[in-house]
């Protein structure tokens, strides 16, 4: 048994496995297109970006066929209707519809559209289907929102949520109440939260507990192995609360950053806009000083956006912004960690001044090394500055007044 078969076996009980094993959305839709004439096939393929075609507008397709955009819209509608007439008698379509419905049930009755497509794409890879993610998503979108439109609704104009898919007659009014309460709690926290912290926070919500029966998971499918391949930092708690995890993904004002922390989509620690934002986020996540070249490389590796990263620009930002402190040669930390700006001599002076009395050399060295990643010889040299420091008996130092 190969690894793909092993994962599929763990996803489904033996009597349900065939539902997912047969999932090849592109192949099934291509076969359904055989019931259409050539023009109908071309219109749908161009309209929805299928069979390697780019997505096109009604107007662009109309010019190609020398027809009005209204006529193209009519052809699109009638072609979809023609396919829908045969879906009930198509065994493969029925299996996919059943699989999608069960996946939605296992996530609390609704599912983030992009998340559903991630799951379906991973299943297709297990079945040796070679479609790219983008190509697969176009077929999945056509299938779910057009062919299965009598079974599922796509909700795209919600106040609180990203596009999501739900069974046709499932009422989602309770979700708005949960979203409103959760988003308020996140704003009150005023900090990024881990997935674990957010799940715990959601579990404490009054609105969620009042409606928990409406988002319960039936536990008919074992999706743990599959979701572990899709979700970063997957663990048993996330799986046991996959309905809440799915709910987090649904929220349009909530997003997870490159380091697995959630916050308001407008927060710069979630969506950094400038190189300075990215520097701060990288350093804060690292939790210790970094060389400016390593900071630039980390920003590049994370791929926040399509903008290039210049080492010199990164260094300039670190130099010019006083929330960053040079703590060693080319090494920068955050002021909020307790570091102070200035030379080693400046740091020594501030330490002696804070003590308010002469300070033993060993104590000075210890305090300076908390502030700067330098060798003791560098501190010794700074203490030899007679314009700033006076050495007293017993190895004590004071400031020159």
Whether 242 and 327 map to the same domain: the answer is no
If one counts the domains in the chain, the total is: 4
User: Quick one: 161 and 178 in the same domain?
Assistant: no
Residue 235 located in a structural domain: yes
Within a domain: 251: yes
- Residue 28 is predicted with a pLDDT of 87
- My answer on whether 246 and 380 are in the same domain is no
CB atoms within 10 A of CB 240: 14
Q: Per the domain annotation, does 268 fall within a domain? A: no
- Mark whether 7 and 81 lie in a shared domain: yes
| Residue 203 lies inside a defined structural domain of this protein | yes
Q: Indicate if the pLDDT at residue 35 is higher than 60.
A: yes
Predicted pLDDT of residue 15: 44
Q: Does some domain include residue 308?
A: yes
Residue 41 and residue 113 in one domain: yes
pLDDT tens profile 133-160: 899 999 999 999 999 999 999 999 899 9
pLDDT band, very low/low/confident/very high, at 129 (cuts 50, 70, 90): low
Within-domain flag for 269: no
Final residue of a structural domain among 165, 181, 212: 165
What HEC string does the chain produce?
Answer: CCHHHHHHHHHCCCCCHHHHHCCCHHHHHHHHHHHCCHHHHHHHHHHHCCCCCCCCCHHHHHHHHCCCHHHHHHHHHHHHHHHHHCHHHCHHHHHHHHHHHHHHHCCCCCEEHHHHHHHHHHHHHHCCCCCCHHHHHHHHHHHHHHHCCCCEEEECCCCCECCEEEECCCCCHHHHHHHHHHHHHHHHHCCCEEHHHHHHHHHCCHHHHHCHHHHCCCCCCCCHHHHHHHCCCCCHHHHHCHHHHHHHHHECCEEECCCCEEEECCCCCCCCCCHHHHHHHHHHHHCCCEEHHHHHHHHHHHCCCCCCCCHHHHHHHHHHCCCEEEEECCEEEEHHHCCCCCCHHHHHHHHHHHHCCCEEHHHHHHHHHHHCCCCHHHHHHHHCCCCCEEEEHHHEEEECC
Summary mean pLDDT of the chain: 89
Q: What is the pLDDT of residue 338?
A: 86
pLDDT in tens, 179-217: 999 999 999 999 999 999 999 999 999 999 999 999 999
66 and 215, same domain (yes or no): no
Question: For residues 121 and 134, what is the distance between their CA atoms, to the nearest angstrom?
Answer: 10
For 33-44, give one letter per residue: b (16+ CB within 10 A) or e.
Answer: beebeeebbbbb
Q: Same structural domain for residues 57 and 157? A: yes
pLDDT of residue 353 exceeding 80, the answer is yes
Whether 119 and 91 map to the same domain: the answer is yes
CATH number at residue 315: 1.10.10
Does 183 lie in the same domain as 144? no
Is residue 334 over pLDDT 70? yes
Confidence of residue 80 (pLDDT cuts 50, 70, 90): very high
Q: Is residue 106 part of a domain?
A: yes
Are both 58 and 154 inside the same structural domain? yes
Q: Which domain does 185 fall in, by range?
A: 171-263
Same domain (yes/no): 200, 228: yes
CA atoms within 13 A on the CB side of 97: 20
In the listed set 165, 189, 212, which residue is the last one of a domain according to the structure? 165
Report for 14-28, 92-106, 232-246: range of highest mean pLDDT? 232-246
The predicted model scores a pTM of 0.79
Q: Which of 337, 365, 382 corresponds to the end of one domain?
A: 337
Tell me: the pLDDT tens digits for 248-303?
Answer: 999 999 999 999 999 999 999 999 999 999 999 999 999 999 999 999 999 999 98
Q: Are residues 65 and 85 in the same domain?
A: yes
pLDDT of residue 112 exceeding 70: yes
Note the pLDDT of residue 384: 92
Q: Decide if 270 is inside a domain.
A: no
R_g over Cα of the chain: 30
């Amino acid at each position: 048994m190969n690894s793909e078969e092993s994962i599929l076996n763990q996803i489904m009980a033996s009597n349900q496995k065939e539902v997912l094993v047969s999932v090849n959305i592109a192949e099934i839709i291509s076969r359904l297109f055989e019931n259409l004439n050539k023009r109908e096939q071309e219109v749908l393929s161009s309209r929805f970006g299928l069979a390697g075609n780019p997505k096109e507008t009604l107007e662009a397709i109309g010019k190609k066929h020398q027809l009005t955009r209204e006529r193209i819209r009519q052809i699109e509608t009638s072609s979809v209707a023609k396919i829908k007439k045969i879906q009930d008698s198509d065994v493969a379509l029925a299996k996919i519809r059943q699989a999608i419905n069960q996946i939605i049930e296992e996530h609390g009755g609704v599912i983030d559209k992009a998340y559903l497509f991630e799951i379906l794409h991973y299943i297709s890879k297990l079945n040796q289907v070679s479609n790219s993610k983008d190509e697969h998503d176009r077929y999945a979108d056509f299938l779910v929102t057009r062919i299965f439109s009598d079974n599922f609704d796509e909700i795209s104009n919600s106040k609180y949520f990203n596009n999501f898919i739900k069974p046709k007659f499932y009422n989602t009014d309770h979700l708005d109440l949960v979203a409103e309460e959760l988003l308020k709690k996140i704003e009150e926290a005023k900090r990024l939260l881990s997935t674990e912290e957010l799940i715990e926070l959601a579990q404490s919500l009054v609105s969620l507990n009042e409606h928990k029966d409406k988002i319960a998971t039936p536990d008919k499918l074992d999706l743990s192995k599959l979701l572990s391949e899709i979700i970063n930092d997957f663990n048993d708690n996330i799986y046991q609360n996959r309905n809440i995890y799915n709910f987090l993904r649904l929220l349009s004002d909530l997003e997870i950053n490159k380091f697995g922390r959630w916050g308001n989509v407008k927060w710069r620690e979630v969506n950094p806009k400038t190189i300075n934002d990215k520097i701060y986020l990288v350093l804060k996540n690292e939790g210790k000083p970094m060389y400016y070249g390593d900071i630039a490389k980390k920003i590049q590796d994370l791929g926040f956006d399509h903008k290039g990263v210049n080492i010199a620009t990164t260094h300039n930002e670190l130099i010019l912004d006083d929330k960053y402190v040079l703590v060693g040669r080319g090494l920068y930390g955050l002021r909020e960690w307790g570091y102070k700006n200035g030379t080693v001599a400046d740091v020594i002076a501030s330490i002696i001044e804070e003590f308010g009395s002469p300070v033993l050399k060993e104590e000075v060295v210890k305090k300076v090394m908390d502030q700067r990643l330098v060798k003791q010889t560098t501190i010794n040299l700074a203490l030899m500055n007679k314009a700033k420091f006076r050495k007293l008996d017993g190895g004590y130092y004071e400031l020159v007044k």
